[in-house]
């Protein structure tokens, strides 16, 4: 019997970078596929608001509403008001079960935080190649691609098309490194580059990572070592999806993981069988 090669998402590669067992349990419990943090709706709402701000940041950068309101803070407030009004419709599935009072509180705090943070607004308006490209050329939001050769698929947050190149851009709501781009983010960019190259028959030279909380917009070349790591991670993920039970990551964020109970149970069973920790 010939077994079909498992399909893999780029998000599986990033989850593998966090902890390989996330890939294992997500594949077997698809109802939890998008739920990685348990019991904290506010964190989820906050991440959604930051991500949506990144999708609209070129409006603040370019002050598209400047004719209506002169002050930069009011221009930003106008854009932010649009964002918070739209999130319930854009993220209906994610926010459907969230209490209206909780959502309203998070929206209000988010808008106040951005408008009052002069340093953040200043950085977001500073001269920036990425935001200039977005303002001039726009971008394709959450562009979905499939590689039949690699059995890989994913949706890059932003895809910018210039006269000479296609540029993948990722939005990250976590902390930014002091310099450059986190290794896992470079690997993820390389995975999107592989998809773009097969889809459009081109070569991707670079990408961007938007560390939106810090208003940091980092360019990253698509290096050979990052391509190699993406392909190696893809092979590991395939084996896990085929049934292999992986080791935990050394720095796995276990405390809030929704799979913690199942993971610990499996460790106990294997420990009894093998006489050692897994």
User: Among candidates 271, 249, 228, which has minimal Cα distance to 20?
Assistant: 249
> How far apart are the C-alpha atoms of 83 and 228, rounded to whole Å?
38
The per-residue DSSP string of 164-187 comes to: S-EEEEEEE-SPPPSSS--HHHHH
How far is residue 151 CA from its own chain's centroid?
Answer: 20
What pTM was estimated for this model as a whole? 0.87
CATH architecture of 8-34+131-241: Alpha-Beta Complex (3.90)
**In the predicted model, what is the mean pLDDT of residues 58-70?**
58
pLDDT in tens, 83-138: 999 999 999 988 988 889 999 999 999 999 998 888 998 888 888 899 999 989 99
> How far apart are the C-alpha atoms of 120 and 19, rounded to whole Å?
32
pLDDT in tens, 209-233: 999 999 999 999 999 999 999 999 9
Contacts with 56 (C-beta within 8 Å, 6 or more apart), sequence order: 79, 82, 83
Neighbours of 237 (CB within 10 A): 24
Q: What percent of the chain has pLDDT over 90?
A: 61
Instruction: Show me where the domains of the chain are located.
Output: 8-34+131-241, 41-126
């Amino acid at each position: 019997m010939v077994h079909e090669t498992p399909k893999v998402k780029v998000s599986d590669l990033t989850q593998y970078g966090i902890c390989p067992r996330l890939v294992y349990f997500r594949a077997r419990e698809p109802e939890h596929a998008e739920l990685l943090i348990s019991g904290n709706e506010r964190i989820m709402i906050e991440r959604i608001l930051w991500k949506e701000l990144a999708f609209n940041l070129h409006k603040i950068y370019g002050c598209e509403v400047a004719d209506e309101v002169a002050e930069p803070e009011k221009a930003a407030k106008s854009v932010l008001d649009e964002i918070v009004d739209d999130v319930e419709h854009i993220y209906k599935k994610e926010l459907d079960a969230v209490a209206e009072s909780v959502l309203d509180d998070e929206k209000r705090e988010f808008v106040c935080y951005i408008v009052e943070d002069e340093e953040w607004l200043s950085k977001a308006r500073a001269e920036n190649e990425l935001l200039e490209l977005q303002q001039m050329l726009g971008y394709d939001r959450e562009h979905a691609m499939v590689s039949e050769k690699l059995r890989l698929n994913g949706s890059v947050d932003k895809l910018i098309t210039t006269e000479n190149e296609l540029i993948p851009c990722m939005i990250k709501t976590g902390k930014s490194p002091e310099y450059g781009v986190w290794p896992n983010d470079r690997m993820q960019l390389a995975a999107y580059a592989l998809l773009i190259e097969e889809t459009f028959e081109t070569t991707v030279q670079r990408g961007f990572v938007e560390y939106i909380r810090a208003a940091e917009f980092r360019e990253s070349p698509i290096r050979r070592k990052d391509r190699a790591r993406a392909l190696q991670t893809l092979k590991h993920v395939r084996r896990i999806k085929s049934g292999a039970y992986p080791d935990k990551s050394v720095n796995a964020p276990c405390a809030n993981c929704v799979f913690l109970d199942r993971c610990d149970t499996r460790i106990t069973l294997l420990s009894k069988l093998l006489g050692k920790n897994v």
